[in-house]
């Protein structure tokens, strides 16, 4: 089964909790706090791998979770960090955030990778909170939760050239003759139900990757036939090799077929309009094709197009076709390089973001901001010492002063994350 689109849910590991512990040894009175820190949760990486060809593994198992960090322990022993999780995907996979639709990354090179979800930091043990005033802290930090995301994996095959055309024009046979690929070949429509890749050798040291795209029909860009599912795989190619069935009844039929496919490509994506194109008339070994090959050439010359006559069965014209595809790929690569102009100095603009925002909901004051929310989640506020430490941090961060400016009164309710507090002046 060829799977080229799948939605997965990834969750990085949670950080381990800090430990509350005190040294207890014989002949060592008042040993003091010795609780260790929690370990960091494991990250989740998505990495391109040339050995992977489909996303079926994630279709079967769409939920992935990294290892949690271990909790700290006594004697100032820190918890073990959670192992990172590496998810291997085919080269050419695009990562899209399902939430906002933004493209996160395009993994177009083998071994290229990105950290898609960061593990939570481990909480600090109680020995970290010891100072000259707080001699015996009986609280520790909780570990932070790992990031959780829903990601769409969208595979666009990476090939140098793509064979396109109507069903049964001989694309699969051409691919099998020009490379070692073994696509399914049969004499009925839509034999090819999934793209195939093959490595074509030009000469010693030179080769290119050729793909066989499932047959297109008129209306494919609007969902007809196999629809747009495989049109996207043509977007990455440098060269389009348009295969035409020379057995068609007349030259007019052949030209109509060609223009219909070109129209579908142009409707699907503007990026396909400017791609280098080669026209190949297949089945030229048949007598009825030989009789009209000159007429076909003249018809396409009127459109400013040259054709290459081949026979996928006998191999006639294939060496010339391979050489022409290779030369066109090199020309397209040179044009890509020349079109990239050196840019000037980049100007980085920094946008100020306040550490917290206070808004009013009815009679409640709601505080939002990453730092204050993290403080609420990191401590057990039912613990008096932890609550006092939390209040000190809130005051030093300027939240209390900002609340007064907003007109808060004693007894008003303040909400941070899912916790609510009564405000009292001290």
CATH of residue 138's domain is 2.70.210.12
Q: 331 and 222: one domain?
A: yes
Residue 336 predicted with pLDDT over 60: yes
Q: How confident is the model at residue 346 (pLDDT cuts 50, 70, 90)?
A: very low
Clarify whether residues 200 and 287 are in a common domain: yes
Does residue 348 lie within any of the structural domains?
no
What is the domain extent for residue 27?
Answer: 1-155
Please indicate, yes or no, whether residues 169 and 145 belong to a single structural domain of this protein: no
Q: Are residues 321 and 377 in the same domain?
A: no
pLDDT number for residue 273: 75
Count of domains observed in the chain: 3
pLDDT score for 228 = 54
The rounded mean pLDDT for the chain is 84
**Of 140-149, 250-259, 302-311, 404-413, where does the model show the most confidence?**
140-149
144/120 Cα distance (integer angstroms): 5
What do you get for the CA distance between the two ends of the chain, in Å?
A: 67
Residue 271 has pLDDT above 80, yes or no: no
Q: Model confidence at 390, in pLDDT bands (50, 70, 90)?
A: very high
Q: What is the pLDDT of residues 190-210, one digit of tens each?
A: 445 567 778 888 887 788 888
Residues 224 and 119 both lie in one domain: no
Residues 405 and 265 in one domain: no
Distance in angstroms (rounded) separating the CA atoms of residues 101 and 256: 38
pLDDT of 18 reads 96
Picking from 154, 192, 153, 151, the residue whose alpha carbon sits closest to that of residue 174 is 192
Give the model's pLDDT for residue 379. 92
Classified as helix, coil or strand, 409 is: coil
Residues 393 and 296 in one domain: no
Are 178 and 210 members of one domain?
Answer: yes
Mean pLDDT of 76-94: 94
Predicted pLDDT of residue 15: 96
- Rounded to the nearest 10 degrees, the angle between the axes of helix 251-268 and helix 287-302 is 50
- pTM score over 0.85: no
65 part of a folded domain? yes
Boundary residue ending a domain (155, 175, 203): 155
Identify any residues that bridge with 96 across adjacent strands, giving them in sequence order.
103, 152
Look at residue 57 and tell me whether its pLDDT is greater than 70.
yes
Same domain, 27 and 137: yes
Which of 98, 126, 155 corresponds to the end of one domain?
A: 155
- CATH (domain of 196): 3.40.50.300
DSSP for 306-374, please give it. -EEE--TTT-TTHHHHHHHHHHHHHHHHHHHHHH-PPP-PPPP------S-EEEEETTEEEEE-HHHHH
Predicted pLDDT of residue 197: 78
Mean pLDDT, range 11-15, rounded to an integer = 97
Give the CATH number for residue 410.
3.30.300.350
Ranges 10-24, 259-273, 354-368: which has the least confidence: 259-273
Query: In the structure, what pLDDT confidence band is assigned to residue 124 with cuts at 50, 70 and 90?
Result: very high
Q: State the average pLDDT over residues 399-412.
A: 90
């Amino acid at each position: 089964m060829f799977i080229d689109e799948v939605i997965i849910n990834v969750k990085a590991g949670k950080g381990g909790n800090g430990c509350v512990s005190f040294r207890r040894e014989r002949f060592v009175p008042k040993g003091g706090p010795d609780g260790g820190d929690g370990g960091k949760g494991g990250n989740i990486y998505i990495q391109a791998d040339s050995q992977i060809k489909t996303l079926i593994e994630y279709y079967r198992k769409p939920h992935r979770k990294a290892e949690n960090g271990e909790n700290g322990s006594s004697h100032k022993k820190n918890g073990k960090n959670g192992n990172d999780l590496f998810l291997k995907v085919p080269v050419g996979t695009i990562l899209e955030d399902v939430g906002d639709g933004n493209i996160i990354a395009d993994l177009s090179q083998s071994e290229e990778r990105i950290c898609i979800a960061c593990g939570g930091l481990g909480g600090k043990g109680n020995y970290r909170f010891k100072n000259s005033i707080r001699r015996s802290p009986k609280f520790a930090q909780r570990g932070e939760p790992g990031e959780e995301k829903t990601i769409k994996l969208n595979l666009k095959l990476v090939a140098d050239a793509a064979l396109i055309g109507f069903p049964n024009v001989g694309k699969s046979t051409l691919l099998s003759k020009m490379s070692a690929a073994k696509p399914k070949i049969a004499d009925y429509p839509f034999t090819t139900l999934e793209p195939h890749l093959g490595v074509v050798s030009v000469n010693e040291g030179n080769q290119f990757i050729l793909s066989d795209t499932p047959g297109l029909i008129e209306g494919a860009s609007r969902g007809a036939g196999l629809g747009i599912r495989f049109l996207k795989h043509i977007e990455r190619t440098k060269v389009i090799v348009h295969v035409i069935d020379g057995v068609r009844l007349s030259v007019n039929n052949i030209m109509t077929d060609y223009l219909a496919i070109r129209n579908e490509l142009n409707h699907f994506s503007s990026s396909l309009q400017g791609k280098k194109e080669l026209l190949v008339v297949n089945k030229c070994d048949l007598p009825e094709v030989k009789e009209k090959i000159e007429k076909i050439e003249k018809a396409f010359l009127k459109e400013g197009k040259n054709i290459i006559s081949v026979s996928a069965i006998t191999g006639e014209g294939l060496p010339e076709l391979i050489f022409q595809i290779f030369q066109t790929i090199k020309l397209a690569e040179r044009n890509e390089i020349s079109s990239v102009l050196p840019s000037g100095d980049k100007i980085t603009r920094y946008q100020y973001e306040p550490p917290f925002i206070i808004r009013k909901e009815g009679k409640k004051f709601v505080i939002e901001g990453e730092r204050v929310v993290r403080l609420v989640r990191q401590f057990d506020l039912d613990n008096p010492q932890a609550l006092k430490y939390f209040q000190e941090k809130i005051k030093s961060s300027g939240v209390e002063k900002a609340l007064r400016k907003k007109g808060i009164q004693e007894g008003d309710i303040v909400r941070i994350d899912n916790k609510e507090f009564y405000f009292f002046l001290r």
